[in-house]
Structure 1
């Protein structure tokens, strides 16, 4: 029997020779396989077309949203202006001077010297019935014109005989 070292060496040599014979490169004839280009071109075209259509639809929806936003902003501005005009009209209607003038037109009179009642029942002042003659004036008197706007009045006296002579035919 041979020694174990010789057996291992012979096995290694046999394995090495087998590996060398297997590792030799052989020339393989080149096989040209043409991949079908039509499906690939169709796929790329469809992806590109889908992207363009999607972008177009997105842009259209953004433009519609912008138009809607502009229309709503204009409507809000119009409504704000209308609200402001209504507030001004309400302030005019609540004006105390206007209310007092309307009351005076209905026949109400502001007393010149009013009397007041306290919560404990005491009367402060002398109660006097209000009449149109002794009532307070609501509207201020018209202001006098300045002297520049008041021309001098020239009165011309026509003798009675001259006037009668002209009127007789």
Structure 2
């Protein structure tokens, strides 16, 4: 009976041995497969070249936009200055004093007594008198007279004239005012 008991053990051992043999790792020679480098290098080069060209185009467009913006700012400043000048001219042209002066220069006269018109009834109130240059109101009042203290009489001071060059030469030749000159030896 001992043999049947041994039989399962040997059988298990033999199965286990086969499993161990199958499960054992063995060194497999490495197979080197190289991917071709040329297509990869070409792809990388094309991507880099496209990036550089894209950056160059982007930079160029930014510079053009910058030049356009500075030109537009300059034009806006010029137009703002022109607008301010025109507004000042318009204010001067609308000045009532200037309008009245030009009207008077053309012969128009401001009436001395105004007449009012009632728009509801159509009647006028006030005395209607013709406006003439003699009884017109003055736009520019006469200039005030300066007090005598502010406008003193001018004071004149006479200064003796310096002797002429000809007279100085005659005096030097006469010997009275002449000084001896020293000669220089070189």
Structure 1 length as normaliser, TM-score?
A: 0.71
Q: CA deviation at 1:109?
A: 0.7
What residue is the counterpart of 2:151 in the other structure?
Answer: 150
1:10-21 aligned at under 5 Å gives the runs 18-21=18-21
Matched, 1:89 2:63: no
* Alpha-carbon distance in structure 2 between the residues aligned to 1:67 and 1:11: 93
What residue is the counterpart of 2:34 in the other structure?
Answer: 34
Query: Which residues of structure 1 form unaligned runs of 5+?
Result: 1-8, 155-169
Q: CA deviation at 1:72?
A: 1.0
What residue is the counterpart of 2:116 in the other structure?
Answer: 116
Give the 3 Å change call, closer, same or farther, for CA 145–14 of structure 1 in structure 2: farther
Q: CA deviation at 1:106?
A: 1.6
Query: Which residues of structure 2 form unaligned runs of 5+?
Result: 1-8, 156-186
Q: CA deviation at 1:12?
A: 8.1
What residue is the counterpart of 2:138 in the other structure?
Answer: 137
* Alpha-carbon distance in structure 2 between the residues aligned to 1:25 and 1:61: 64
Give the 3 Å change call, closer, same or farther, for CA 91–11 of structure 1 in structure 2: farther
Q: CA deviation at 1:45?
A: 2.2
SS of corresponding position for 1:38: helix
Give the 3 Å change call, closer, same or farther, for CA 132–37 of structure 1 in structure 2: same
Residues 52-109 of structure 1, C-alpha deviations (whole Å, 9 max, x = no match):
2211211111111111111111111211221121111111111111111121122111
Structure 2 length as normaliser, TM-score?
A: 0.65
What residue is the counterpart of 1:125 in the other structure?
Answer: 126
Greater helix percent: which structure?
1
Moved more, 132-141 or 43-52: 43-52
Residues 124-161 of structure 1, C-alpha deviations (whole Å, 9 max, x = no match):
2211111111101112222434546634389xxxxxxx
